[in-house]
Structure 1
Amino acid sequence: MNEQIQPATVRVFIALAPPDDAKEELARELRPAYQAYPRMRWNRIEDWHVTLAFLGEVPVATVPLLRPPLADLAAARRPLRLHLRGSGHFDERVLWTGIGGELEGLRLLATDVRAVVKECGIPFEDRPLNPHLTLARSRRNDPAHAVEGAAAGIAAFTGRPWQAERLHLVGSNIGRGPGPIHYRDIEAWNFTGDRSS
């Protein structure tokens, strides 16, 4: 009998996910960039997310510690009204679109999410929040201007407002093989409270 060996660690982050119609609206705007820069590593639309805290590789056994406090946090919060807007890049290699809307509420949520992680005793790199959604990464042999060109194509984009209604605890398979990065919800919780902070 073959038993699958379970990994000892999992790469984890906590995030918000735009609804499908908001993602499809941006994907339509990106069509010229998809055609102009087909060799870039475009993230799958179903994997688009707004990271609140990136934990990196953590022991699988620590993941259950996060579930109760994240569930409590979501239960105390109301949904946030956000939208996708504009574009930019990190180091001319990573293409992103920005986030607009209730940014103060988003920052407060991220602060509280990170406090939960710390209270669970999980070490992580607590970088300043730069709300964005990563769209693509350039490959080593892509034209030097690929990411900048793609960013310019959606610089004026402002998407429709949407409600961030769930808090997602996400695992990824990055570093697990040569294929594309895929994400999966470990668990997600609805925002059911009446406060934004």
Structure 2
Amino acid sequence: MRLFVGLLPPPAARDELVLALEAHRPRWPGLRWLDPANWHVTLSFLGEVPDPVLPGLRTRLAGAATRHPPLTLSLTGAGAFPSARRARVFLAGLGGDRPGLARLAERVGAEALEAGAGQTDRRRFTPHLSLARCRADMDVSSLVEAFGTFSGAAWEATTVHLIRSNFGGGTTGGAPLRYETVGEWPLTARAPRGQG
């Protein structure tokens, strides 16, 4: 099964972002806007994971979660991958405890590799929430600039999710991509003094 490890923004943060995007979406018909129900912050993309690896992966992710405290985050600003002038993905950035988020991403990625899942050529972690995609490079500079001032309310990430990507048949007109949580573990460590 195709898996990744991520954080899910709470409904209030998601709704706030949906409302903020309303004015921008009609002006960008060339973008395929992602379903807010699928919005997530990817900590580690695992790819295809064989079923026999799952028990060990679950154990390692549970252990990683117990060693990290909840994170105070917010959705803020805008950007694009690989760049605003040649975008394939339009995204919202993340504010708040970015160092803690990077440590959590590093830990779950390392634990996944130890379990026999995950990518050995992991890229540098760039915290974001994908909002829209495009099939060909698109200049979204003006959208990034217009939405760059967005600053959402702070929220607390308390749970790490192991998520399965369910593709809708793989053909045009098939069922849309759907994500399914197949495991979740609370972040239970206490924040170090002076944090949290």
Inter-partner Cα distance in structure 2 for 1:131 and 1:79: 16
Normalised by the length of structure 1, the TM-score is 0.85
2:95 matched to 1:104? no
Q: Which residue of 2 aligns with 1:66?
A: 57
Answer yes or no: is the 8 Å Cα contact 1:11–1:174 preserved in 2: no
Q: Which residue of 2 aligns with 1:79?
A: 70
Q: 1:41-52, aligned counterparts within 5 Å? A: 41-52=32-43
Query: Percentage identity across aligned positions?
Result: 40
Give the counterpart of 2:127 among 128, 131, 141.
131
- C-alpha displacement of 1:76: 2.9
Q: Which residue of 2 aligns with 1:17?
A: 8
Q: Which residue of 2 aligns with 1:148?
A: 141
Q: Which residue of 2 aligns with 1:173?
A: 166
Per-residue displacement from partner, 1:78-132 (whole Å, max 9, x unpaired)?
Answer: 2100111111111412101111111111111111111101211224131110000
Give the counterpart of 1:157 among 138, 150, 159.
150
Amino acid at match of 1:117: A
* Deviating 4+ runs (over 3 angstroms): 147-150
Amino acid at match of 1:188: E
Structure 2 residue runs of 5 or longer lacking an equivalent are none
Moved more, 173-182 or 124-133: 173-182
Normalised by the length of structure 2, the TM-score is 0.86
Answer yes or no: is the 8 Å Cα contact 1:76–1:195 preserved in 2: no
Inter-partner Cα distance in structure 2 for 1:89 and 1:95: 5
Per-residue displacement from partner, 1:39-73 (whole Å, max 9, x unpaired)?
Answer: 42111111111111101122233222211121122
- C-alpha displacement of 1:38: 3.5
Structure 1 residue runs of 5 or longer lacking an equivalent are 1-9
Amino acid at match of 2:186: N
2:179 matched to 1:183? yes
